[in-house]
Amino acid sequence: MLRLLFYCILLGLFIPTRVPADKIAASRRTAVVEAVERAQPAVVSIHVTYRERVLQRYRLRDPFWDLFSPFYYVVPEERDRTSAGSGLVVSADGYILTNGHVIGDPNRLHKISVSLPDGRTFEASHVASDISFDLAVLKVEENDLPVAPLGESNDILVGEWAIAIGNPFDLGPTVSLGVVSALDRDFPEPQGDYYYRDMIQTDADINPGNSGGPLVNSLGQVIGINSFIFTGGDYSIGSIGIGFAIPIDTARSFLEEIRQYGQVRRAWTGILYLQDLTRPLVEYLSLSSTDGALVVKIAPDSPAYRAGLERGDVIIAINGEKVRNVDEAIAILKGFRVDAEYVLTIVRHGKTFDLQLKPEERSRRRQWY
């Protein structure tokens, strides 16, 4: 009797139990699925048509010239070209955030159309671009659009889920999943026409067409704007798992500037010329290393002049961020906002101290920086 009971119990251990369908359905609704459902309705596909000038070659049909060699003549013509990218609805009344390089030169724009995942398509107008941060704002004449929630740059965790949403290769709404690989990635040298700083690195697949779309966390909050990828030099191969997104706080600052002033005000410090430090200069100025940027020329009655910056000072840090050369200094200076306050750490006559600098709006007559 006991042996029979033992066999029954043992047999029961190997009888598969059926999992209820409702539990399977519940297990499919992961945090990633819910995050996509929260953010994707506000992600748009962008198609930009712009005019470009080309030289068209025509062959002159002449019996005499054809006996020797064909004769060609060149005629300048204009034609339309369309490129695709992504964007994010940031307000219900039709403002859309994207990358500046998705829009290109505003002077050559012919038409911009945006498409929502629900199938609606609108014609958009260009509002403003920020040449420093590779950001742009578009506007469509529509109300009650879906808006994705924006996160906080200081709340991003390395290793957390990162979801890239966009329009890669013009395929339409597409989702890819990875993690936040690193934070605060700086590129002192320009990538194309732009300086990128404090970037979010992710291994979520980002491909041509994803530019301007959001990078989202598992809460469905936008934490960055997908901007470019690293491919080892061959961009035709697509993503290899190293992509970069502009932090959402940088984008938020840009949006606030647009909402308040209708454009990006170019900041002017009055620093006219900087120079890298050489070994002879290091010895002459009694410095400990070649790290820093030497101030060569300052505009009179400028923000830098009023802050106390002098010719011969060496800028070694800006807002606590170390400056190793002129390229790094320029990359940081290009990110300055009008009326914001910045701290320059300088070396003068062997002494190190801080200066408070508040940039002004740059007029057309003023030189950069």
- In the set 130, 134, 205, 313, the catalytic residue is 134
The predicted pLDDT at position 54 comes to 74
The predicted pLDDT at position 141 comes to 92
CATH, residue 220: 2.40.10.10
Is there a domain that residue 119 lies in? yes
Domain that holds residue 340: 267-361
Is there a domain that residue 30 lies in? no
> What's the pLDDT tens digit per position in 346-362?
999 889 999 999 999 88
Q: Do 171 and 252 share a structural domain?
A: yes
Q: Do 48 and 132 share a structural domain?
A: yes
- 87 φ, ψ (degrees, to nearest 5): -160, 175
Q: Do 222 and 186 share a structural domain?
A: yes
Q: Do 117 and 63 share a structural domain?
A: yes
Q: Do 172 and 254 share a structural domain?
A: yes
- Checking phi first, is residue 157 left (phi over 0); if not, alpha (psi -120 to 50) or beta? beta
Cα 273 to Cα 287: distance, rounded to the nearest angstrom: 20
Q: What is the mean pLDDT of the chain?
A: 85
CATH, residue 289: 2.30.42.10
- In the set 45, 86, 101, 132, the catalytic residue is 101
Is there a domain that residue 247 lies in? yes
The predicted pLDDT at position 107 comes to 84
Element (H, E) at 84: strand 71-89
> Is 105 annotated as catalytic?
no
Residue with the larger pLDDT of the pair 315 and 334: 315
Q: Do 307 and 239 share a structural domain?
A: no
Is there a domain that residue 180 lies in? yes
Is there a domain that residue 7 lies in? no
Is there a domain that residue 237 lies in? yes
Q: Do 254 and 289 share a structural domain?
A: no
Q: Give the end of a domain, one of 93, 116, 140.
A: 140
Within 8 A by CB and 6+ apart from 213, the residues are 43, 85, 86, 87, 88, 164, 165, 166, 167, 225, 226
Confidence of residue 65 (pLDDT cuts 50, 70, 90): low
> Is 101 annotated as catalytic?
yes
- In the set 129, 153, 176, 211, the catalytic residue is 211
> What's the pLDDT tens digit per position in 293-304?
999 999 998 999
